[in-house]
């Protein structure tokens, strides 16, 4: 009994001491500054940095918004407006968007909770769902663009062009894309019933599909003629570096001697993945330089020891190559590691940091600009390809003059 009491006292003492130590740490850490909530993934199309900024200034008290005027506006709407008064959250999101519009920066953006959930999953490289890419058509129908090979949607018989009209008995026609996706996705192992319209079928078809954990197929690779390998990367999700490396390994085992790396229509993604992918092809030296508006500079460098540091290569780019894609293409072009073939890239040279807000929505703030190893800014300009190849409008389906030119270059050296 006495032992138990002693033990308890000792335990309490240790607990108190460790709490004190924790608080001490907090106090000491107060001055080490600044600080950010842990980053979360964001949609492709923006470059996000997971690295915390160092030493930002102490936050100033928020004196910029006139809260009294906002309250007055709210009161006015509530008391006077003739018509349906939107939910409080809708008004709030409107206010946030309206405020962000005044910045004139399309990349500093606000994402509502429903949408944030989906894009966080997408950027992580895996999600739980039925495994089909879909798009919301302008007429309000959700169309299956492509059922992923070997995934539940394909196994159940869903086809490209199918229009999903009901999910578990609930109509999704006219619903927002992300709202609909939130209904279709769900825990692996659970079932979802879809009602689908298909061309040449008079009545709607019903599919019951068991959801599974889906890895997003962002990398495609194959061996072309004469030992030339081809890898395309469709976005820089959280696993991009690993998957490109796996593809390189597989192609090298098949005797790859030169590589075509396709970044066309790749809208970007994680900054650390862009650095990782560029590093696969570079032995050392600068990959990119990031500068914040207060002049702080961070230089990202490559490290030796990757399997593709010497392979002859061409990078394919076009107007859909943005952000993280431009970091990789710009680094390889500046460092003389690869030539770019295709069309001018988009020109998004800014870096966003995501923040999860208290209500589950997400804010992405432009925090810096990045520059190529030769200190070129691509913001607004994009990268000019070394060999420009347009795709004429009458190009037959299945032909790819840009890929063709890349093959020619690697085979003939010019």
Partner 1 sequence: MAFLPPFSPVRASANPDFVVQCLFMDMTEQLKRQANRLLILVALVGILGLSFACGLKTAPELWTLKAVLESHAGDPLPPLGEVLAYLEREYYGPLPAGPVLTHGAIRGMLETLDDPHAQLIEPQNNVSAVEIFTGKYGDIGADLSWQDGWRLVPYPAGPAAEAGILPGERLWRLDGQDVSALTQAELKARLSGPVGSQVTLELERGCARYTQSLTRAEVLHPSVLAYRLAPEIGYLRLTQITEGTFEEARQALDNWPELQGLVLDLRGNAGGVVSALPALAGLFLPEGKTLYYEIRRTGTRPIQVQGDEGPFTGKLIVLIDPQTASAAEILASALQAYQRAELFGQASAGKASMQIAYPLADGATIVLTNALWEDPLHRSVAPQGITPDRVLAPEPAGQEDPVLQAALEALPAP
- Judged by CB under 8 A, does residue 29 bind partner 1? yes
- Judged by CB under 8 A, does residue 296 bind partner 1? no
Pairing type for strands 163-167 and 142-147 reads antiparallel
Site for partner 1 in 34-93 (CB under 8 A): 34-38, 52-53, 56-74, 76-77, 80-86, 90-93
Using CA atoms, how far apart are residues 288 and 274, in angstroms rounded to an integer? 10
148 token code pair = 């992923």
Pairing type for strands 228-233 and 258-262 reads parallel
- Judged by CB under 8 A, does residue 8 bind partner 1? no
Q: Which listed residue (7, 12, 19, 201) binds partner 1 by CB under 8 A?
A: 19
The stretch among 1-9, 160-168, 182-190, 350-358 that binds partner 1 (CB under 8 A) is 350-358
- Judged by CB under 8 A, does residue 367 bind partner 1? yes
Between 91 and 212, CB nearer to partner 1: 91
- Judged by CB under 8 A, does residue 414 bind partner 1? no
Q: What is the closest distance, in whole angstroms, from the C-beta atom of residue 183 to partner 1 in the complex?
A: 24
Between 68 and 304, CB nearer to partner 1: 68
Using CA atoms, how far apart are residues 41 and 43, in angstroms rounded to an integer? 7
Between 66 and 414, CB nearer to partner 1: 66
Kindly list the catalytic residues: 323, 334, 348
- Judged by CB under 8 A, does residue 14 bind partner 1? yes
- Judged by CB under 8 A, does residue 16 bind partner 1? no
Q: Are 278 and 297 in contact (CB under 8 A)?
A: no
Between 20 and 299, CB nearer to partner 1: 20
User: Site mask, partner 1, residues 83-122, x = CB under 8 A?
Assistant: xxxx---xxxxxxxxxxxxxx-x--x-x------------
Using CA atoms, how far apart are residues 240 and 236, in angstroms rounded to an integer? 5
């Amino acid at each position: 009994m006495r032992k138990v009491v002693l033990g308890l006292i000792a335990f309490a003492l240790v607990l108190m001491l460790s709490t004190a130590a924790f608080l001490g740490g907090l106090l000491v850490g107060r001055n080490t500054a600044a600080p950010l909530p842990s980053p979360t993934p964001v949609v492709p199309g923006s470059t996000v940095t997971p690295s915390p900024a160092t030493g930002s200034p102490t936050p100033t008290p928020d004196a910029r918004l006139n809260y009294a005027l906002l309250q007055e506006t709210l009161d006015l709407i509530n008391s006077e407006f003739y018509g349906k008064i939107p939910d409080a959250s809708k008004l709030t999101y409107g206010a946030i968007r309206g405020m962000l519009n005044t910045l004139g920066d399309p990349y500093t953006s606000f994402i509502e909770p429903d949408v944030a959930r989906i894009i966080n999953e997408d950027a992580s490289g895996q999600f739980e769902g039925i495994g089909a890419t879909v798009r919301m058509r302008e007429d309000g129908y959700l169309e299956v663009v492509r059922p992923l090979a070997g995934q539940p949607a394909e196994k159940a018989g869903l086809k490209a062009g199918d229009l999903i009209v009901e999910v578990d008995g609930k109509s999704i026609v006219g619903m927002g894309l992300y709202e609909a996706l939130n209904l279709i996705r769900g825990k692996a192992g659970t079932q979802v019933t879809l009602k689908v319209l298909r061309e040449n079928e008079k009545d709607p078809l019903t599919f019951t599909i068991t959801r599974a954990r889906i890895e997003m197929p962002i990398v495609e690779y194959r061996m072309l003629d004469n030992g030339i390998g081809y890898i395309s990367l469709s976005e820089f999700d959280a696993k991009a570096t690993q998957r490109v490396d796996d593809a390189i390994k597989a192609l090298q085992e098949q005797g790859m001697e030169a590589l075509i790396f396709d970044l066309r229509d790749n809208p970007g993604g994680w900054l650390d993945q862009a650095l990782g992918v560029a590093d696969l092809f570079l032995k050392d030296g600068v990959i990119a330089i990031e500068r914040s508006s207060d002049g702080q500079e961070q230089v990202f460098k490559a490290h030796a020891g990757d399997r593709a540091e010497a392979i002859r290569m061409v990078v394919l780019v076009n107007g859909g190559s943005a952000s993280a894609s431009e970091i990789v293409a710009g680094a390889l072009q500046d460092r003389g590691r690869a030539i770019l073939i295709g069309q001018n890239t988009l020109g998004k040279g800014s870096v966003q940091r995501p923040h999860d807000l208290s209500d589950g929505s997400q804010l992405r703030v432009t925090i810096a600009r990045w520059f190529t190893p030769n200190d070129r800014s691509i913001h607004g300009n994009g990268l000019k390809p070394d060999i420009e190849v347009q795709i004429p409008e009458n190009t037959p389906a299945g032909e790819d003059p840009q890929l063709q030119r890349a093959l020619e270059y690697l085979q003939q050296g010019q």
